[in-house]
Amino acid sequence: MSVVTILGSANAVPKIGQDNTHLLIQANHKTVMVDCGDNPVAKLAAAGSHINQVNDLILTHFHADHMGSLPLLIMDMWLEKRESPLTIHGLEITLSKARSLLEVFNWQDWKGMFPVNFNVIPDAGHEGFILDEDLAISTLMVQHLVPTIGLRIEIMGKKVIAYSCDTEPCENVLKLASQADVLLQEAAGEGKGHTSPAQAGWLATRAGVKKLVLIHYDSRIDEERLLADARSEFTGEVVLAKDMMLV
Ligand SMILES: [Zn+2]
């Protein structure tokens, strides 16, 4: 069984029922979380998981809505008596910021602290940096305001899901999403470091994906308008991501 659950779908400002964008990937032998802007404990429980089942945490970039809750996540894992190691993946700058964030809380002094490994993802990208019998996750740098990675999640023999993360339209999003079943594309709006719904549609067409899911969008804008803008550039299926949606 491999499932991708959208734990949060909001842009940087969350609202009732819509947390900051973060994802859960559940494969046969691995549970992977992508980002943690909000405390994910309750959301993981709702997805039938537990924080201490998470083996790997991918941090896409060092913005607060993507990793602001890291110290609380690690503390909750420790309070829940975690023993198994956690691997945190990210670019060098992202992991250095993550360590600084944890050091604010003297995490090295927590009694009986579980092992945390940091895996540096090279700027050039890393194919299959998370690899298991039914899951392969690869990254490439995308174009945001700070160094950021996008993801290609391959669920063996079943599905390919690309997650743009925060980015403006760029060649690497097209590479990550090439012929994917689903493109999970940020649609925060046109401007530096971000993508509009229409541009998301354009990317989906260019990458040849089957389905486009808009995420990290401005929920003050009418939903039908967001969808119509994306559909003006893409004739495949388009939906808006919602919290707890299965991809
Ligand atoms: Zn960001």
Spacing, Cα 216 to ligand 1 middle (Å): 10
Q: What mean pLDDT comes out for the span 3-17? A: 91
Rounded Cα distance between 169 and 141, Å, is 12
Spacing, Cα 193 to ligand 1 middle (Å): 8
Spacing, Cα 187 to ligand 1 middle (Å): 12
Residue with tokens 């691997």: 87
Spacing, Cα 191 to ligand 1 middle (Å): 13
Spacing, Cα 11 to ligand 1 middle (Å): 9
pLDDT at 42: 92
Side-chain-facing half-sphere of 221: CA atoms under 13 Å:
18
Spacing, Cα 8 to ligand 1 middle (Å): 14
Q: What mean pLDDT comes out for the span 102-106? A: 97
pLDDT at 228: 98
pLDDT-above-90 percentage for the chain: 88
> How far from each other are the two terminal CA atoms of the chain, in whole angstroms?
13
Strand partners, 26: 3, 31
pLDDT-above-70 percentage for the chain: 99
Rounded Cα distance between 106 and 91, Å, is 23
Spacing, Cα 51 to ligand 1 middle (Å): 24
Spacing, Cα 111 to ligand 1 middle (Å): 33
Pairing of strands 3-8, 245-246: antiparallel
Q: Can you read off the two tokens belonging to residue 34?
A: 């992508």
Spacing, Cα 166 to ligand 1 middle (Å): 5
Q: Can you read off the two tokens belonging to residue 155?
A: 């669920």
Name the pLDDT band for 1 (thresholds 50, 70, 90).
low
Q: What mean pLDDT comes out for the span 89-115? A: 97
Please, are residues 127 and 147 in contact by the beta-carbon 8 Å criterion? Answer: no
Write down all domains in the chain, each with its CATH number in brackets.
Answer: 3-246 (3.60.15.10)
Q: What mean pLDDT comes out for the span 199-211? A: 98
Spacing, Cα 108 to ligand 1 middle (Å): 28
Spacing, Cα 212 to ligand 1 middle (Å): 20
Q: What mean pLDDT comes out for the span 101-113? A: 96
